[in-house]
A and B are shown apart, each in its own frame.
Chain A
Amino acid sequence: EVQLLESGGGLEQPGGSLRVSCAASGFIFSNFGMSWVRQAPGKGLEWVSAISGSGGRTYYADSVKGRFTISRDNARNTLYLEMNSLRADDTAVYYCATHVDGAAYFPHWGQGTLVIASS
């Protein structure tokens, strides 16, 4: 059974940094691309970033480009999102999600971790 467990969310001041993690199990982690998707309180879904299975290719939404960095450690079956220069509009639940083989849509999602950027 595929399991994705996010951690690392919390309260951080605007301008600060935070790293969230996603521990994966139940599948061959290195074979699949992964994404981060966020959802601001009471709002819809927003794709944030994606990374290929090897980690060699990364993609970002314009809203986070230059501030956020996605990475993965395939030996530890863990996905990361390093968030710098946090803004109030980065406040959201951050979900990690698996891709399917060869396409970037999401059959499996974690439960999410809440990031709050506020003073």
Chain B
Amino acid sequence: EIVLTQSPATLSLSPGERVTLSCRASQSVNRDLVWYQQRPGQGPRLLIYGASNRATGIPARFSGSGSGTDFTLTISSLEPEDFGIYYCQHHTKWPLTFGGGTKVEIK
């Protein structure tokens, strides 16, 4: 199975700051990589698909990049509603796997 490693585990930031989250795959997933946001008490929300395409209704401050084994999710300027946990997931082959998540918390 493909292991996805996210870093860092936790980020403490202030509103307005730029955020860069990393997801590394144990083998190539091409661009079959998506990102989700999960706010406390809620289900996940799709943010990015195909490594760099924003899902419907996702603000332009969210962007994704990468291919192969190294991927990045960037939030250009943190808004209060952006605090939560971010997960990457590959869908290049079975089994599907998620990364362990990065928690973005208020400093």
Q: Mark A33-76, 1 if CB is under 8 A from B, else 0.
A: 00101000000111100100000000111100000000000000
Which A residues are CB-close (under 8 A) to B71? none
Q: Would A105 and B49 be within 8 Å (CB), given that A44-B101, A47-B97 are in contact?
A: yes
Q: Is B11 an interface residue (CB 8 A)?
A: no
Q: Is B44 an interface residue (CB 8 A)?
A: yes
Q: Is the CB of B43 within 8 A of A111?
A: yes
Q: Would A47 and B43 be within 8 Å (CB), given that A105-B34, A107-B55 are in contact?
A: no
Q: Mark B29-73, 1 if CB is under 8 A from A, else 0.
A: 000101010100001111001000001100000000000000000
Output the nearest chain B residue to A57 by Cβ-Cβ distance.
B94
Q: Give chain A's interface secondary structure class.
A: strand
Q: Would A62 and B95 be within 8 Å (CB), given that A106-B44, A112-B43 are in contact?
A: yes
Q: Is B22 an interface residue (CB 8 A)?
A: no
Q: Is the CB of B43 within 8 A of A59?
A: no
**In the bound complex, what is the Cα–Cα distance between A107 and B99 (angstroms)?**
17
